[in-house]
């Protein structure tokens, strides 16, 4: 779960990190009032879950009421990479001479947390990581002990941060690590940490992603979750609790287990079709969940055929078959052809109850995918 | 022959009184697995499927001479269950639980590094030596005994590939579902080395997927250390890039690593034929044998 910048900044400020004065605004009038109380210059920043907001026109620096009004009018309501901007953060602009990057995340390869500092902040840090990895100092942390203060200092000095602000930046890194550990974050980041002309250190941005699997022990953070302005289908997938990704093609895909569903997508492509979506019903799905999955895929008007690929382990074939029957019982005639492939636990029982009059049943994965591609007007093979 | 488990393996099921624990303990017993005990705090003295339940893993292991544990405990309690298993005298821990918080797993991983125990998973289907023992939730009926070792990050993909192999008469020595979580115990390299040392395994299938760099590391290992031939499969060629990739995560792994292309290329360079379909994987195994 990703926190909005304004939410992450609240968490950071409570933890004692230096953040600029800021107010959230939802209208042009609120932007003007906020700018007035903070004092110009201010930054007007779109609050949506996309990276690269600045480049996309979602952040503007303004110095007067006129400029603030123009920025508010252009940013509020704008479409930023598919998300409508409904709120902006109005924040005191920082007069900076240096920009740094500071972040904490899990290094999955090492199975350990890693703290990172770079004196090349304020830019696309992923590009820095790619082109000049030595510009990022990394410090792996033993999760049982947490980050020792010397590790924070070492990372800061290794990154070439100037001596007079090193101790403050090390403090930022230590606090970010503690926040990361205490809140079960996937990452906590500030890019940039700004160094002002009076040599003060300010967190000008705030990123915080919480591990969804750990939200059960952070009810206060879970409460901050806000439905993003995603498209209707993704909103529906959230409601049903599916792992769902909408794609460009016309073959709807439902399966159990991410690896098998991805393989089904790959095969649709391999046999000359184009997948319309990724939909994983997960392990142990019951009849109702299966019916919901079919409802999801039928809600996508681009879908011309559906392939249902179930290989039961913990999921039982008879449950899945019942779900498919329930879902199609509401139609006199199916809106789109459905190809079913059912294997594994209780598959035989499933095949016995499956309503085969209305469905295309195939024994193999390859066969099922080819049929679905043909139904959708693809090449087949 | 086999790796990790056989019909001598004596198994404790942690969480045997829960819904999943009870069901799958029953399935394991039905398959012929030597399930000797359950371990559930506060439930010592009970019986499930005729198997005695103990309050702690140590007591279960001691009383029943168990040497392996299967963890079917809900995610909130799973890390504790894993620490307990690692702190008792079992040599193998198979963690089925899905959704264990990543920071919990980082701590477990640290503890694991201080022991000689093999941890399989978490979020995995388990380990099976066909005809001898299964530790986990894999559907036993699709497996058959033979000379192909199998390692997979994805549960259902394991079943699919096994089905293609078995259909062709290509039985398996042992199949290991290593799990798809960011932090796992036994990884591809560990599992490959186990099969390399197993005289009964004449070929290995390795099923990977997008994300992380485990397959790339496995390719390097195969190139440098393996005589047993390996066939590969990578799921996710058509997955949209960057859908779940966190910002900082991308910095750690570099934006080029983790794609299907990168994995397929690395494996191909190590002499591993990578099939376009599970059917083709079975073709490739036939050729390697």
Is the distance from CB of A253 to CB of B235 less than 8 angstroms? no
pLDDT at position B245 is 31
How many contacts (CB atoms, under 8 Å) link A and B? 188
Is the distance from CB of A305 to CB of A251 less than 8 angstroms? yes
In-domain check, residue B218: yes
B147 and B238 housed in the same domain: yes
**Among A128-137, A215-224, B51-60, B77-86, whose mean pLDDT is lowest?**
A128-137
In-domain check, residue B125: no
- Domain end (from B120, B149, B173): B120
In-domain check, residue B82: yes
Interface touch A343/B254, C-beta < 8 Å: no
Query: Taking 60 as the threshold, does the pLDDT of residue B250 lie above it?
Result: no
Interface touch B106/A113, C-beta < 8 Å: yes
Residues in chain A with CB shorter than 8 Å from the CB of B101 are: 184, 211, 213-214, 217
B247-257 mean pLDDT:
49
Which of A259, A270, A307 has the most B C-beta neighbours within 10 Å, making it the best mutation to test the interface with B?
A259
Report the CATH number at residue B108.
3.40.50.720
Tally of domains in chain B: 2
B116 and B212 housed in the same domain: no
Taking the CA of residue A277 and the nearest CA in chain B, the distance in Å comes to: 10
For helices A163-182 and A5-14, the axis angle rounded to 10 degrees is 100
pTM: 0.91
Whether A176 and chain B come into contact, CB under 8 Å, resolves to no
pLDDT at position A57 is 86
B269 and B165 housed in the same domain: yes
State pLDDT tens for residues A102-145: 999 999 889 999 999 999 888 777 788 888 888 899 999 999 99
Report the CATH number at residue B273.
3.40.50.261
B156 and B90 housed in the same domain: no
B19 annotated as ligand-binding: yes
What band does B256 get if pLDDT is binned at 50, 70 and 90?
low
Q: Which two tokens stand for residue B132?
A: 């001898």
pLDDT at position A150 is 97
In-domain check, residue B221: yes
ipTM of the complex: 0.90
Interface of A with B in 244-283 (CB under 8 A): 245, 247, 255-260, 262-263, 265-270, 275, 278, 283
Give the domain range for residue B146.
Answer: 139-288
State pLDDT tens for residues B15-49: 999 999 999 999 999 999 999 999 999 999 999 99
pLDDT at position A244 is 85
B184 and B116 housed in the same domain: no
State pLDDT tens for residues B226-246: 999 999 999 988 876 655 433
In-domain check, residue B4: no
How many CB atoms neighbour CB A351 within 10 A? 17
In-domain check, residue B112: yes
Residues in chain A with CB shorter than 8 Å from the CB of B98 are: 283
In-domain check, residue B58: yes
Interface touch B159/A256, C-beta < 8 Å: no
How far is residue A110 from each of residues A22, A287, A314, measured CA to CA in Å? 38, 40, 31
B87 and B161 housed in the same domain: no
Question: Average pLDDT, whole number, for chain B?
Answer: 93
Interface touch B246/A365, C-beta < 8 Å: no
Task: Reply yes or no on whether B49 is catalytic.
Answer: no
State pLDDT tens for residues B100-119: 999 999 999 999 999 999 99
B149 and B256 housed in the same domain: yes
The DSSP line for chain B is: --SS--TT-EEEEETTTSHHHHHHHHHHHHHT-EEEEEE-TT-TT-EETTEEEESSHHHHHHHHT--EEEE---HHHHHHHHHHHHTTT-SEEEE--S---HHHHHHHHHHHTTS--EEE-SSS-EEEETTTEEEES--GGG--EEEEEEEES-HHHHHHHHHHHHHTT--EEEEEE---SSS-SS-HHHHHHHHHT-TT--EEEEEEESSSSHHHHHHHHHHHH--S-EEEEEE-TTSPTTSS--HHHHHHH-SSTTSHHHHHHHHHHTT--B-SSHHHHHHHHHHH-
- Domain end (from B64, B89, B120): B120
Q: Which residue of B has its CA nearest to A244?
A: B243
Interface touch A214/B101, C-beta < 8 Å: yes
Residues in chain B with CB shorter than 8 Å from the CB of A365 are: 160, 278
Q: Which two tokens stand for residue B244?
A: 């779940």
- Domain end (from B71, B92, B120): B120
B75 and B177 housed in the same domain: no
Q: What percent of chain B has pLDDT over 90?
A: 85
pLDDT at position B247 is 37
Residues in chain A with CB shorter than 8 Å from the CB of B139 are: 312-313, 344-345
B173 and B243 housed in the same domain: yes
Residues near B50 by beta carbon (within 8 Å), at least 6 away in sequence: none
Whether A103 and chain B come into contact, CB under 8 Å, resolves to yes
Q: Which two tokens stand for residue A110?
A: 């090492």
In-domain check, residue B129: no
Taking the CA of residue A124 and the nearest CA in chain B, the distance in Å comes to: 10
Taking the CA of residue A357 and the nearest CA in chain B, the distance in Å comes to: 26
B190 and B106 housed in the same domain: no
Taking the CA of residue B253 and the nearest CA in chain A, the distance in Å comes to: 8
B153-182 mean pLDDT:
94
Interface of A with B in 339-378 (CB under 8 A): 343-345, 364-366
CA distance B126 to A166: 48
Low-confidence ranges of chain A (pLDDT < 70): 227-231, 379-381
B183 and B258 housed in the same domain: yes
pLDDT at position B258 is 78
B159 annotated as ligand-binding: yes
B17 annotated as ligand-binding: yes
Q: What are the contacts of A71-76 at 24+ separation with CB within 8 A? A: A71/A31, A71/A44, A72/A25, A72/A27, A72/A28, A72/A31, A72/A32, A72/A44, A73/A28, A75/A44, A75/A46, A76/A26, A76/A27, A76/A28, A76/A31
Nearest to A106 among B182, B214, B235 (CB): B182
B173 and B268 housed in the same domain: yes
């Amino acid at each position: 779960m990703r926190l909005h910048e304004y939410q992450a900044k609240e968490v950071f400020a409570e933890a004692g990190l230096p953040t600029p004065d800021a107010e959230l605004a939802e209208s042009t009038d609120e932007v003007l009032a906020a700018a007035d109380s903070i004092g110009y210059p201010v930054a007007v920043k779109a609050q949506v879950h996309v990276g690269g907001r600045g480049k996309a026109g979602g952040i503007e620096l303004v110095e007067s009421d006129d400029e603030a009004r123009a920025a508010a009018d252009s940013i509020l309501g704008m479409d930023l990479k598919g998300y409508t901007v409904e709120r902006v953060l109005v924040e005191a602009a920082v007069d900076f001479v240096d920009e740094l990057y500071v972040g904490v995340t899990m290094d999955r390869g090492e199975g350990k947390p890693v703290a990172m500092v770079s004196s090349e902040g304020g830019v696309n840090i992923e590009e820095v990581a790619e082109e000049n990895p030595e510009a990022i100092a990394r410090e792996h942390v033993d999760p049982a002990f947490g980050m020792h203060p010397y590790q924070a200092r070492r990372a800061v000095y290794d990154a070439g941060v100037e001596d007079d602000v090193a101790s403050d930046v090390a403090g930022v890194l230590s606090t970010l690590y503690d926040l990361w550990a205490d809140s079960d974050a996937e990452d906590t980041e500030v890019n940039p940490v700004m160094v002002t002309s009076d040599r003060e250190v300010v967190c000008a941005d705030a990123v915080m992603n919480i591990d969804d699997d750990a939200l059960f022990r952070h009810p206060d953070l879970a409460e901050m979750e806000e439905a993003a302005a995603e498209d209707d289908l993704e909103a529906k997938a959230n409601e049903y609790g599916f792992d769902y990704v909408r794609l460009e093609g016309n073959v709807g895909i439902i399966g159990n287990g991410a690896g098998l569903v991805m393989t089904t997508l790959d095969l649709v492509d391999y046999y000359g079709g184009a997948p319309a979506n990724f939909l994983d019903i997960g392990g142990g799905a019951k009849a109702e969940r299966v019916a919901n999955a079919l409802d999801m895929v039928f809600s996508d008007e681009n879908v011309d055929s559906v392939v249902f690929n179930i290989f039961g382990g913990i999921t039982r074939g008879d449950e899945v078959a019942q779900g498919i029957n329930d879902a199609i019982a509401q139609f006199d005639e199916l809106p789109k052809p459905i190809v079913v492939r059912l294997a594994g636990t209780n598959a035989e029982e499933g095949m016995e109850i499956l309503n085969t009059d209305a469905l295309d049943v195939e024994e193999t994965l390859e066969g099922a995918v080819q049929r679905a591609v043909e139904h959708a007007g693809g090449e087949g093979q | 022959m086999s790796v990790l488990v056989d019909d001598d393996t004596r198994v404790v099921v942690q969480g045997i009184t829960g819904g999943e624990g009870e069901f799958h303990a029953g399935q394991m017993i039905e398959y012929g697995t030597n399930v000797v005990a359950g371990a559930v705090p506060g439930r010592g003295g009970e019986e499930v499927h005729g198997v005695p339940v103990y309050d702690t893993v140590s007591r279960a292991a001691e009383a029943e001479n168990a040497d392996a544990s299967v963890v079917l405990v809900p995610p909130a309690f799973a890390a504790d269950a894993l620490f307990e298993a690692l702190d008792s005298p079992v040599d193998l821990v198979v963690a089925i639980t899905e959704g264990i918080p990543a920071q919990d797993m980082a701590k477990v991983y640290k503890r694991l590094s201080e022991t000689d125990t093999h941890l399989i998973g978490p979020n995995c289907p388990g380990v099976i030596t066909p005809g001898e023992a299964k530790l986990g939730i894999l559907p036993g009926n699709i497996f058959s005994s033979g000379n192909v070792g199998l390692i997979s990050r994805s549960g259902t993909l394991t079943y699919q590939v096994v089905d293609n192999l078995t259909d062709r008469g290509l039985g398996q020595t042992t199949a290991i579902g290593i799990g798809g979580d960011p932090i796992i115990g036994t990884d591809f390299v560990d599992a490959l080395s186990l099969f390399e040392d197993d005289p009964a395994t004449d070929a290995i299938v390795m099923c990977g997927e997008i994300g992380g760099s485990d397959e790339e590391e496995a390719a390097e290992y195969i190139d440098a250390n393996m005589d047993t031939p390996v066939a590969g499969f990578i799921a996710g060629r058509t997955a949209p890039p960057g859908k779940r990739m966190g910002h900082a995560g991308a910095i750690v792994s570099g934006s080029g690593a983790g794609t299907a292309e990168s994995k397929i290329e690395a494996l191909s360079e190590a002499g591993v034929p990578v099939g376009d379909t599970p059917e083709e994987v079975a073709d490739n195994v036939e050729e390697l044998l």
